[in-house]
Copies of this chain bind each other. A is one copy, B any other.
Amino acid sequence: MEKIDIPKRTVYRLSLYQRCLQKFLEQSVDTVSSDDLASAAGVKSTQLRKDLGYVGQFGTRGLGYSVETLSAAISGVMGLSMLQPVVLIGVGNLGAALIRYGGFRKEGFEIIAAFDAEPSNVKGPTEEMGVPVHHVSSLGDYVAEHAVRVGIVAVPESAGQEVTNILVESGIQAILNFSPAVLNVPEAVVVNHVDLAAELGSLGFFVN
């Protein structure tokens, strides 16, 4: 079960490639060159080939890659062969937007339940998308019972570590963190920190 050792950056790009391949598939393209795919993903073709090299050999020289084969291969590595259930904690501005967004399914993820400290304040998403919003007190049990492996944290900074602890104790394996909080987790748990304020803030450097 030992995952091959793949650089984090490469894993991220594999996710991009996968989406591009999906799009090619929809357009009934059945073969792409590394140049085609790379430019669709916004990277250099050498980079793409090096990235794919971590996964295996899927191309045929002179021709390129079979979209279907490559897509299946990446899906395999990325564990996207089946829909991955996800819980979301914090149904505020951002959390609600994420729930309403329908696009994650296509990427292989489904938000199956949401949790909030005040679920009664939350109206829209439940009805709109069929995602139930529970009280955060039931988070631990839910995650454990449904063996949920991925969680999205969209609570205020002050509550970030708290809900993370619950997730971790209940066996979560990966967290997408939107709060500014620096989350403390065991080695085995992976955290992707998306810090929107910092992303915007860093643009300040480049203007004027």
Contacts and interface: CB of A to CB of B under 8 A. Distances in A.
Contacts of A40: 182
A188 to B, nearest CB: 9
Query: How often does this chain occur in the complex, in copies?
Result: 2
A80 interface: yes
Interface stretch (A45-53, A90-98, A113-121, A135-143): A90-98
Given A182-B42, A194-B196, A207-B79, A201 B101 contact: no
Interface of A: 1, 3, 6, 8, 11-12, 14-16, 18-19, 40-42, 77-80, 84, 86, 93-94, 96-98, 100-101, 103-104, 107-109, 149-150, 152, 173-176, 180, 182, 190, 192-208
A131 to B, nearest CB: 13
A41 B206 contact: no
Contacts of A103: 197
B18 A201 contact: yes
B104 A202 contact: no
Residue with the greatest number of chain B CB neighbours at <10 A, chosen from A84, A149, A175, A205: A205
A201 B79 contact: no
Contacts of A175: 203
Given A19-B201, A197-B107, A202-B12, A173 B79 contact: no
Contact of A208 (B1, B77, B108, B204): B1
A150 to B, nearest CB: 5
Residue with the greatest number of chain B CB neighbours at <10 A, chosen from A41, A101, A208: A208
A175 B207 CA distance: 10
A11 B77 CA distance: 32
Given A104-B197, A107-B197, A176-B203, 20 more contacts: A1-B208, A3-B205, A6-B205, A8-B202, A11-B206, A12-B199, A15-B201, A18-B201, A19-B201, A78-B201, A78-B202, A93-B97, A93-B100, A94-B101, A96-B97, A104-B200, A109-B200, A150-B204, A190-B206, A192-B200
